[in-house]
Structure 1
Amino acid sequence: MKIYSFKRFIIAILVLGAVSSCEDFLERPAEDTYTIDSFYQNDEQLYQSVNTIYNSPWYDFQRGFMKIGDVMAGNLVFDIGDGYTNLVLNNSDADIANASASLWSVNAYCNGVIQNVDLKSGPQVSQAAKNTVKGEAMVWKAMTYFYLVRCFGAVPIIHDNAAIIADNSSATLKRNKIEDVYKYITLILHDAIELLPEENMKGRIDKYSAYGLLAKVYLTKSGYGMSGTRNEADLAEAAKYAKMVIDNSGRTLHPEYSEIFQLKGNFSEESLIAWHWTVGAQWTSQNSLQSDLSLTNFSDAVQSWGNWVYPTIDLQTAFEESATTLSRNYRDARRKATIMMVGDTYDYFWTDMGGFAYNWDSATDGMYGGAISFVSGTGSNVTKHIVGRLADAQAQGYETLDRMHTPLSTHILRLSDVYLVYAEAVLGNNATTTDASALAAFNAVRARALKGNHVDETSLTFDMIDHERRVEFALEGDRWYDLVRLHYYNPAAAKAQILAQERGTWEGLEDFYTNGDDSNLEITTHKVTGLSDEDFTIPFPEVDLSLNPGLMDEPVDFDFGSIGYN
Structure 2
Amino acid sequence: MKRICIFACIAIAGLTACNKFLDTKPTDFYTPDNYYQNEVQLQQALNGVYSDLMRPELYAQVMGFNFVSTTDEVMANRTADGDARGLRYNYDASLVHVANIWKYAYVGINNINVLLQNIDKPVMDQGKRNILKGQALFLRGFFYFILTSNYGDVPLVLRPLAINEVNMAAAKQADVYAQVEKDMKDAEALLKDYTVVQAKFNDVVTLTAVQAMLARVYIYWAGYPQNNTAKYQDVITYTDKVINSGLHALNPDYRQIFINLAKDLYDVKENIWELGSLGAAAGVVNKSGNDIGNFVGIQSALTAADSTSYNAAAWVWVTKKLFDAYEVDPNSTATPNKASLDIRRDWNCANYIYNGTNPRVKAARPNIWQMCAGKFRREYVPQSIRNTNGAAGTYNINWPMIRYSDVLLMRAEAENYVNGPANAYTYINQVRKRGYGLLNGNVVKSVSIVNAGSGYTVPPVVTITGGGGNGATATAILTSGKVTGIYLTSPGALTPGAYYSSAPVVVVGTFWTPGVSYTAGMQVTNGANLYTVTTAGTSTNTAPTHTSGASSAAVTGAVFTYAGAAATATATITTGTESDLTPGLSKEAFQLAIRDERMRELCFEALRKADLIRWGHFVADMQEFAAWATSNGAGVTATGNPNGLQGIRNVSQRHVLLPKPTYELNLNRLLVQNEGW
| TM-score bin (small chain) | 0.7 to 0.9
**Rounded Cα–Cα distance in structure 1 between residues aligned with 2:623 and 2:418:** 19
- Of 431, 435, 444, 1:449 maps to 435
Residue ranges of structure 1 left out of the alignment (5+ in a row): 1-5, 15-32, 343-357, 510-520, 556-566
- Work out whether 1:340 is the aligned partner of 2:350: yes
Moved more, 468-477 or 312-321: 312-321
Choose between structure 1 and 2: higher strand proportion.
Answer: 2
**Rounded Cα–Cα distance in structure 2 between residues aligned with 1:334 and 1:495:** 24
- Work out whether 1:478 is the aligned partner of 2:624: no
**Rounded Cα–Cα distance in structure 2 between residues aligned with 1:58 and 1:454:** 36
**Rounded Cα–Cα distance in structure 1 between residues aligned with 2:143 and 2:38:** 29
Alignment of 1:71-470 (within 5 A): 71-81=69-79, 82-83=82-83, 84-119=86-121, 121=122, 123=123, 125-160=124-159, 162=160, 164-165=161-162, 168-170=164-166, 172-196=167-191, 197-199=193-195, 200-201=198-199, 202-203=201-202, 204-224=204-224, 230-262=227-259, 263-279=263-279, 285-294=288-297, 295-298=299-302, 304=311, 306-319=313-326, 325-327=335-337, 329-342=339-352, 358=353, 362-364=355-357, 378-388=369-379, 391-392=382-383, 401-402=389-390, 403-428=392-417, 432-435=420-423, 438-452=424-438, 453-459=578-584, 461-470=590-599
3-state SS in 1 of match to 2:671: helix
Provide the TM-score with structure 2 as the length reference.
0.63
Alignment of 1:526-545 (within 5 A): 526=645, 528-529=648-649, 531-545=651-665
CA displacement at 1:210 relative to structure 2: 0.9
Change (3 A) 1:465 1:98: same
Aligned to 1:53: 49
**Rounded Cα–Cα distance in structure 2 between residues aligned with 1:241 and 1:7:** 35
The answer (yes or no) to whether the contact 1:222–1:234 under 8 Å persists in 2 is yes
Moved more, 379-388 or 524-533: 524-533
Aligned to 1:551: 671
**Rounded Cα–Cα distance in structure 2 between residues aligned with 1:389 and 1:273:** 21
**Rounded Cα–Cα distance in structure 2 between residues aligned with 1:409 and 1:292:** 15
- The one-letter code of the counterpart of 2:373 is V
**Rounded Cα–Cα distance in structure 2 between residues aligned with 1:107 and 1:383:** 34
Provide the TM-score with structure 1 as the length reference.
0.74
- The one-letter code of the counterpart of 1:290 is G
**Rounded Cα–Cα distance in structure 1 between residues aligned with 2:45 and 2:318:** 38
CA displacement at 1:88 relative to structure 2: 3.9
**Rounded Cα–Cα distance in structure 1 between residues aligned with 2:104 and 2:134:** 21
Cα RMSD over matched residues?
3.7
CA displacement at 1:542 relative to structure 2: 1.9
Aligned residues, how many?
Answer: 480
- The one-letter code of the counterpart of 2:169 is K
**Rounded Cα–Cα distance in structure 2 between residues aligned with 1:447 and 1:390:** 28
- The one-letter code of the counterpart of 2:666 is S
3-state SS in 1 of match to 2:72: coil
**Rounded Cα–Cα distance in structure 2 between residues aligned with 1:233 and 1:158:** 27
CA displacement at 1:536 relative to structure 2: 0.5
Choose between structure 1 and 2: higher helix proportion.
Answer: 1
Aligned to 1:559: none
The answer (yes or no) to whether the contact 1:193–1:210 under 8 Å persists in 2 is yes
CA displacement at 1:443 relative to structure 2: 0.8
The answer (yes or no) to whether the contact 1:377–1:506 under 8 Å persists in 2 is no
The answer (yes or no) to whether the contact 2:89–2:655 under 8 Å persists in 1 is yes
3-state SS in 2 of match to 1:526: helix
Aligned to 2:629: 502
- The one-letter code of the counterpart of 1:238 is V
Aligned to 1:67: 65
CA distances 1:269-300 after superposition (whole Å, capped 9, x unpaired)? 222222111259x9982222334334241575
Pick 1 or 2: higher relative contact order, CA cutoff 8 A, min separation 6.
Answer: 1
- The one-letter code of the counterpart of 2:580 is V
**Rounded Cα–Cα distance in structure 2 between residues aligned with 1:498 and 1:327:** 22
CA distances 1:313-346 after superposition (whole Å, capped 9, x unpaired)? 333233468xx9543534222223323114xxxx
CA distances 1:345-385 after superposition (whole Å, capped 9, x unpaired)? xxxxxxxxxxxxx4xx734457xxx6788899933113233
The answer (yes or no) to whether the contact 1:424–1:462 under 8 Å persists in 2 is yes
Query: Identity of paired residues, percent?
Result: 21
The answer (yes or no) to whether the contact 2:75–2:644 under 8 Å persists in 1 is no
Residue ranges of structure 2 left out of the alignment (5+ in a row): 10-28, 329-333, 439-577
